[in-house]
Amino acid sequence: MKHVNYFFFGCTLLFLTAFTIKNSIDWKISKGYQVKFSGTDAEGIFKKLSGDIQFDAKNIDSAFCKLIIDVKSINTGNGMKNKHALSDNWFAAEKYPTIEFSSKLFSKSENGYTVTGMMKIRGIENEITIPFNFKNSTFTSSFSVNRLDYKVGTMKGMMKKVSNEIKLEISIPVSNR
């Protein structure tokens, strides 16, 4: 009789696990996303963003995201600044064509949520925590990174004008896959 009970318990556990493995909603990034950056003497946007987002506010423990920005899609509004930003002194776009963020942990916060993960720029990875909100099928965030943590820009000549802290403002509308 014990073997039958264990069998039914095991089957029930397997059945329930099958429905709890993926409790996050799989989102597709929609058109209209924005990735803006600003700092002293540096501002613009990145035009190309891709990635995977799985998020359900009711079950953030199973949330995941990986976001990829195409460095060559930078637009500062100035052709010379764009070219300079892609050079080896800044993003080194030929060698490091993407900026990547991969999540490790999502948490609820007083003002919305946070996601902790690895930010990779110029081949350098650092763990960061990013605050964000999710309303009306749109993820929004505003945070800063220190460009020198990723060796973006050297402090020579005109580059001294650019602030070390660069503010990022991100808006990602999504739809169900």
Can you name the CATH fold of 23-176? Answer: Lipocalin (2.40.128)
Q: What is the pLDDT of residue 23?
A: 67
Q: What is the pLDDT of residue 90?
A: 94
pLDDT tens, 127-174?
Answer: 999 999 999 999 999 999 999 999 998 766 555 688 999 999 999 999
DSSP secondary structure letter of residue 15: H
Question: Contact, 168 vs 35, CB < 8 A?
Answer: yes
Strands 34-39 and 165-176: antiparallel
Span 40-55, average pLDDT = 95
Span 53-64, average pLDDT = 96
Split at pLDDT 50, 70, 90, the class of 1 is low
Mean pLDDT rounded to a whole number for the chain: 88
Q: Is the pLDDT of residue 16 over 90?
A: no
More confident residue, 123 or 158: 123
Q: What is the pLDDT of residue 2?
A: 52
Q: What is the pLDDT of residue 43?
A: 94
Nearest Cα residue to 125 out of 145, 153, 140, 141:
145
Q: Is the pLDDT of residue 15 over 70?
A: no
